[in-house]
Structure 1
Amino acid sequence: MEGTRPLSAQIPHHLLADPSFLHAVQRRDFSAVFATAHRSGISFNRIGEACGMKPERASKVARGEATVTALDTVECVADGLRIPGVLFGLAARPWEDSSPTPHAEPQDGDDHMNRRQLLRGTLAVGLTTPALAALTDTRQSMDLALAADLDLVDLADLEAAAETYGYGYHGQAPSRVLADLATDFAGLQPYLDTPQSVSNRARICRTAGQMAGMIAIVLHDMGARKEARQWFATGSKAARESGDRQLLAWVLAREAMVPINYGAPRSAARLAEQARQAAGDRPTAAATLAAAVAARAYALCHQPDDARRAVRAADALMERLDSAARADTWLTHGEQKHHVHLSHAFTALGDTQRAYESQQRALELSAPTSTMTRSLLTIDAAMCFHHGGDTEQACRRTIAVLESLPVPYRSGLVHRRAQDLYRLIPARHHQEAAVGELRDLLAV
């Protein structure tokens, strides 16, 4: 105890990874917060003392017979129960950067694990304001580190982690992958505490660029466009500082996919061309990706000649890629990914025959766990049905995709692509049953 400050009644760490408890905290439902704390073994006497109120009032709050509304009381609850301020919509509390309380678990590895649990829990509730604030804090901290004269002693584990994340979701919910990625990204910073060689600094910046880019990919897939662009900016900064132009080209090409999927194809074309310039003429994964993304952007801009030139360039580069560059990861450019891009480009061009060929090949190469990729390819195929005059079949196929998806996949990119199909349907078809079902499903 410091002065007259009450002792904390720290909640168990597992509650910070419990979506129902976090949802209660974010809604400032103090009845549920106090009741959960009490069920976890904390007496109302301790809750009251820690939160600056009488035990009788703490008990009444837990039963819903009293409320907590004053800001200073909310702050007392955050401090007393050791709940991070961001979850209540507050600034970080003074104790969050201090040593563990007497009730905390052992210190070794604690900060890293607690950060992971906190991010997993907040993201499990959804891309809420607290969850995005926690991600922003992680990104901004790295921005500051990138501007400082810092370096890394041993990058092997972090480089291996980045490589592992590059293999994608593997059936995991995007929110879980995002939480784990952000946690390991933050884990880069402790290594940036002493000056090291130029080569070591290049390695840490390269790893930071890869991880920031992959965080942006997941945020993009979840529908958080603004936050994705901010993380791509951090990735670009890290890539430039690393001196790795292929990494810079990869980040820019990946960033171009955000405006492609959110209705700004001209902006996407500019970014894709920047990526192509950074990558140069060598047959690299980044150069091939940049050309394929440029093809999609030009097709959506109704510039078919530029789109087809970009397709030819992408195909020519793809034929020359070595086996390492063809691996099926986020950081490389495998055949499956190549046909996913071409599927979208040919669909936008109205070249249904070549679109079907790319869709079929991409599906053959997609793992059964590639839920999002398979969904996007199916919606591309549905758009081809619409271009061919069968709007009802297009709607039926898209409805089937949306209804079959697990909840974490129904928003974000898949939802946006389904909306793109609906917007293509002329108003004269809007009274048709299948079109109406698709509209209602998208509204839900």
Structure 2
Amino acid sequence: MKRRNLLRGALAAGLTAARTDVDQILSPGAPEGLADLEAAAESYGYGYHGQQPTRVLADLVSDFAGLRPLLAVPQPAPVRARLCRTAGQMAGMTAIVLHDLDSRRGSRAWFATAARAAAESGDDQLHAWVLAREAMVPLNYGAPKAAAGLAERARHAAGHRPTAAATLAAAVAARAYALNHQPEQARQALAAADALMERLPESERSDTWLTYGEQKHHVHLSHAFTTLADTARASESQQRALELSAPTSTMTRTLLNIDAAACAHHDGDTEQACRRTVAALAALPDGYRTGLVRRRALDLYEAIPAQHHRERAVRDLWDALALNP
């Protein structure tokens, strides 16, 4: 009897070990720390929340470094896909912050890393999102033709389903075409963005960097319509975007105010345009008057004919820009 019990015990232990081994192969557990890194990526997606971009950048890079040891060793395919997806998200958001800080070369390098990670993850929508966000680098720094090319690649990658990436890509394409003096293509892309936005599921409408909410939509429309000198439509989008923007959305609210100033210039009131822009810059905390905000204010200054540059309000705008190179 004792021997039989021992045999039964050994058999049970062997069965358990065999099942456990196969179970681990069939459903491998995620490495320790992956869930925390995924949660961190989701948290970063909510933007600056009043923090200086440099602080967010430092935290992002620190967490991104935590992915390296997990990616450096063989992982089961589902786990590798999760790791690559998280890496693509974090690298893309790092590139966004670098873009906002006017580090174009660094931004492009991080977008390249994000694109490779997104492609390896097999997530077409993440890949499209990376391309659409990357398009905003040349879009905001004087290369609208290159921006339109990237945005169209993003639209192709996203496909025709109403997703956050597809809607973002259409909106960015509209802005690029407007800046490239292609109003017909810009309006076609705007119509496509609006149509996608109407069909976008609620799950993709939250206000994060990785999704596409109504506030973000109107921020893009504001810039596109401002560039097209359609000041009435631009003003509508500016007001709606400001209503939907949190008080801590410092950079977004400033860009919307500069768009409104540019509309005043289009409508013939250059003095008001300059004064509004100077006030918007003066209200910013330290660390926010560089990069994209300064570039957008400089775009307004450069749009003012040279014969007006000696006027007091225009000189004040130039002085404000000179103080924040």
Which TM-score applies when normalising by structure 1? 0.65
Residue 358 (1) aligns with residue 257 (2): no
CA distance in 1, matches of 2:85, 2:71: 13
| Match of residue 51 from structure 2 | 172
CA distance in 1, matches of 2:150, 2:73: 35
| Match of residue 139 from structure 2 | 260
Query: Aligned letter for 1:319?
Result: E
| Match of residue 23 from structure 2 | none
CA distance in 2, matches of 1:378, 1:189: 41
Assess if the C-alpha contact under 8 Å between 1:152 and 1:193 holds in 2.
Answer: no
The correspondence for 1:275, drawn from 133, 150, 154, is 154
Taking a change above 3 Å as real, the CA distance of residues 152 and 183 of structure 1, as seen in their structure-2 partners, is farther
Query: Aligned letter for 1:355?
Result: A
| Match of residue 320 from structure 1 | 199
The correspondence for 2:35, drawn from 152, 156, 161, is 156
User: Which structure 2 residues correspond to residues 335-354 of structure 1 after superposition, within 5 A?
Assistant: 335-354=214-233
The correspondence for 1:290, drawn from 143, 163, 169, is 169
The correspondence for 2:279, drawn from 390, 396, 400, is 400
Residue 415 (1) aligns with residue 294 (2): yes
The correspondence for 1:442, drawn from 281, 296, 321, is 321
CA distance in 1, matches of 2:282, 2:31: 49
Assess if the C-alpha contact under 8 Å between 1:153 and 1:191 holds in 2.
Answer: yes
Task: Work out the percentage of aligned pairs sharing the same amino acid.
Answer: 73
Query: Aligned letter for 1:392?
Result: E
Assess if the C-alpha contact under 8 Å between 1:152 and 1:194 holds in 2.
Answer: no
Query: Aligned letter for 1:153?
Result: P
CA distance in 1, matches of 2:72, 2:261: 52
| Match of residue 59 from structure 1 | none
Query: Aligned letter for 2:245?
Result: S
How many residue pairs match? The answer is: 294
The correspondence for 2:305, drawn from 412, 423, 426, is 426
Note the alpha carbon deviations across 1:202-260, whole angstroms, 9 max, x for none. Answer: 11000000000000000001111110011000000100111111000000000000111
CA distance in 1, matches of 2:226, 2:71: 46
| Match of residue 245 from structure 1 | 124
CA distance in 2, matches of 1:152, 1:337: 34
| Match of residue 60 from structure 2 | 181
Residue 191 (1) aligns with residue 61 (2): no
Taking a change above 3 Å as real, the CA distance of residues 311 and 202 of structure 1, as seen in their structure-2 partners, is same
Offset of residue 152 of structure 1 = 6.2
Assess if the C-alpha contact under 8 Å between 1:152 and 1:204 holds in 2.
Answer: no
Query: Aligned letter for 1:210?
Result: Q
CA distance in 1, matches of 2:72, 2:162: 37
User: Which structure 2 residues correspond to residues 64-75 of structure 1 after superposition, within 5 A?
Assistant: none
Offset of residue 193 of structure 1 = 4.1
Offset of residue 371 of structure 1 = 0.2
CA distance in 1, matches of 2:105, 2:177: 23
- Structure ranking higher on relative contact order (CA contacts 8 Å, 6+ apart): 2
Query: Aligned letter for 2:159?
Result: G
- Greater helix share, structure number: 2
Offset of residue 190 of structure 1 = 2.1
CA distance in 1, matches of 2:268, 2:182: 23
The correspondence for 2:114, drawn from 232, 235, 240, is 235
| Match of residue 311 from structure 1 | 190
CA distance in 1, matches of 2:84, 2:315: 50
5+ residue gaps, structure 2, are 1-28
| Match of residue 214 from structure 1 | 93
For 1:229, what is the secondary structure of its paired residue? Answer: helix
CA distance in 1, matches of 2:71, 2:243: 43
Offset of residue 157 of structure 1 = 1.0
5+ residue gaps, structure 1, are 1-150
CA distance in 1, matches of 2:38, 2:233: 38
For 1:345, what is the secondary structure of its paired residue? Answer: helix
| Match of residue 375 from structure 1 | 254
